[in-house]
Chain A
Amino acid sequence: MNQVLQLLLDGEKLTPEQIGKVAGLSRGEVEKEFRALEERGILLGWRPVISPNAELENTVRAVIEVKITPEREGGFNRLAERIARFDEVESCHLMSGGYDLLVFARGRNLHQVASFVSEKLSTLEGVLSTATHFLLRSYKEQGYLLDVTGLEKTRPDVSP
């Protein structure tokens, strides 16, 4: 794997300078690598990983199972892409199994998510049914554990 990408995925907070030092590249080369990753559609964007349990605005999250009718041309794609464009939708995936799309949605409050589902999502032509589950509490987010007491450092500074 690309070394710059690997360092980003390792999840340590490193400046472009530090990434450059580790990968043996200049800062300019690291920036160029970032741009290349973006242009190739591998790196989609930059945002912090925020605890879902933090009391921020837009923090009501829901998972919505959606059944839709596939179309002769393109199958599920047209409708899935249309659903994905709503601002409330954080991510949208075609699934195997009992339903077709799994949609992660976010709203300021319960009411806003409910309106999105009842007024926008379920009224779309081709959407057969929806089942909405609200997230109550999170324990792990994108590989980061939440509300877990930190590990204690026990490793001595010098050992054989």
Chain B
Amino acid sequence: MKLLDEDSRFLEGDVKETMKSDSQRFLAGHVRDLPKSGIRDFFELVSQMTDVISLGVGEPDFVTPWHIREAAIYALEKGKTSYTSNYGLLKLRRAVSRYVTGQFGVDYNPDHEILITVGVSEALDTALRAIINPGDKVMYHEPCYVSYNPSIALAFGEAVPVETSAADQFALDPAKLEAAWTPGCKALILNFPTNPTGGTLDRPRLERIARFAVEKDLLVLSDEIYAELTFEGTHGAIASLPGMRERTIFLHGVSKAFAMTGFRIGFACGPAPLIEAMMKIHQYSMLCAPILSQEAAWEALERGGDSVARMRDQYRRRRDFVVRRFNEMGLPCHTPRGTFYTFPSIAATGMGEKEFAVNLLREERVAVVPGTAFGPCGAGFVRACFATGYDQLTEAMDRVERFVAKPSVCHV
């Protein structure tokens, strides 16, 4: 199959430069050098096509449960349109405190240990800016969410990625973490269950990583955004382990579990001096998270438990189906214990992950995200999200099967 121009550009990682004009000279060097997310280029490619079944999404297919939407409408009717405290509504911080204690077993004081942010993305960015001196090293595991590396770079930190692998079900191997450590490492970002792999950490590994963090005096930024979408076993938060609360910034939000991505509400919990430092940045950049979203988040945390359980059950059934189908068609795929992502290996097709994604899109109109969008060690994998209805999932899996069964599967 002949590749179209856009495909070639995508495959070569070429950035579509429209106006490479002199105005570039105004840009800060570290921003100019920041690569665009691989997701973005692929989005452009997909958006030019019709009849695509997309497994390339990174959010729930459920609409926010009605009781939560209704709470936002009610708040609007009551004229709640003002700023809030920089920290966020006190009643929401109290709800966060109760929720985190109940779900994760860690206590935070709503008065000065909790900050409401615009999604976990802002919380992570703010945390990094609050702690990094230029050149400080920040460790994290890859493949991972697309913003970790750039957020560290934007805070003038140095990224220290640690690879995870399919052989390990994409859990972080403490030995690899310890081997990657060098003097100057100040913080460690953890995100389990992980986007894009669905990897999780069991208790012994979590404990060993915690001991390592204490030994090396690392601050841990734990991104818990997929915690509720843990299908087997219970999710353990590292902040709940002995000696960890004082060296952890616990980051969470309502986006994924409550299907509230567009509300943009996250929160950071941690020792008061850290939260206060983050609040200063948040205060001068964001002022506060939108009040309507805060009201909706309060409803979610206080009364949304049943909605979360219902959605989680759906995700688990879809996961079982998608994982089985990938393995049946010869694309080895581990069973993610959390998130709504599968991360099958496409190495057997003889294609690279980008070729695979582009050809699958062109030939069968199914969108998946190349694994390298989440770090170099995602090579040979694609991310396929199962937050989609069964009629679409069954059809998508049939199309992928047809695609990989073609004799001339290596097209480029």
Contact = CB atoms under 8 A, between A and B. Distances in A.
Interface of A: 3, 6-7, 10, 12-14, 18, 21-24, 151, 154-160
Contact of B262 (A13, A22, A151, A154): A154
B382 to A, nearest CB: 12
B133 interface: no
Given A3-B317, A21-B325, A157 B394 contact: no
B27 interface: no
Nearest to B325: A21
A7 B56 contact: no
A66 B61 CA distance: 44
B328 to A, nearest CB: 9
A25 to B, nearest CB: 11
Given A12-B389, A21-B394, A157 B367 contact: yes
Nearest to A151: B63
Interface in B167-221: 195
Contacts of B394: 14, 18, 21-22
Contacts of B101: none
Contacts of A156: 43, 57
Interface string B123-148: 00000000000000000000001110
Nearest to B387: A155
A19 to B, nearest CB: 8
B39 A158 contact: yes
Contacts of A7: 390
Contacts of B146: 160
B324 interface: yes
Contacts of B61: 155
Contact of B39 (A18, A24, A159): A159
Given A18-B391, A158-B367, 9 more contacts: A10-B390, A12-B389, A14-B394, A21-B394, A157-B54, A157-B367, A159-B39, A160-B145, A160-B147
A22 B393 CA distance: 9
Interface string B307-345: 000000010010001001100000000000000000000
A14 B394 CA distance: 10
A24 B391 contact: no
Nearest to A1: B313
A-B residue pairs, 10 tightest by C-beta: A158-B56, A157-B54, A158-B43, A159-B58, A160-B146, A22-B321, A18-B394, A157-B46, A160-B58, A160-B39
A159 B368 CA distance: 10
B59 A155 contact: yes
B43 A21 contact: no
A160 B143 CA distance: 12
B59 A159 contact: yes
B262 A14 contact: no
B56 A157 contact: yes
Contacts of A158: 39, 42-43, 46-47, 54, 56-57, 367, 369
18 contacts: A7-B390, A10-B314, A10-B390, A12-B391, A21-B394, A22-B317, A151-B63, A155-B61, A156-B57, A157-B46, A157-B54, A157-B56, A158-B39, A158-B47, A158-B54, A159-B56, A159-B57, A160-B39
Contacts of A155: 57, 59, 61
Interface string B41-75: 01100110000101011110101000000000000
Centre residue among A3, A23, A151, A157 by max chain B CB count within 10 A: A157
A155 B146 CA distance: 18
Interface in B266-315: 314
A6 B389 CA distance: 14
Nearest to B392: A12
Given A6-B317, A159-B56, A14 B390 contact: yes
A3 B389 CA distance: 16
B81 interface: no
Which of B63, B390, B393, B397 gathers most chain A CB within 10 Å? B390
B8 interface: no
Nearest to A14: B390
A157 B317 contact: no
Contacts of A6: 317
B390 A157 contact: no
B211 to A, nearest CB: 32
B103 interface: no
Nearest to B195: A160
Q: Which of A7, A154, A159 has the most CB of B within 10 A?
A: A159
Contacts of A157: 43, 46-47, 52, 54, 56-57, 367
Contact of B43 (A12, A14, A18, A159): A159
B85 interface: no
A118 B180 CA distance: 85
B37 interface: yes
Interface string B379-412: 0000000000111011001000000000000000
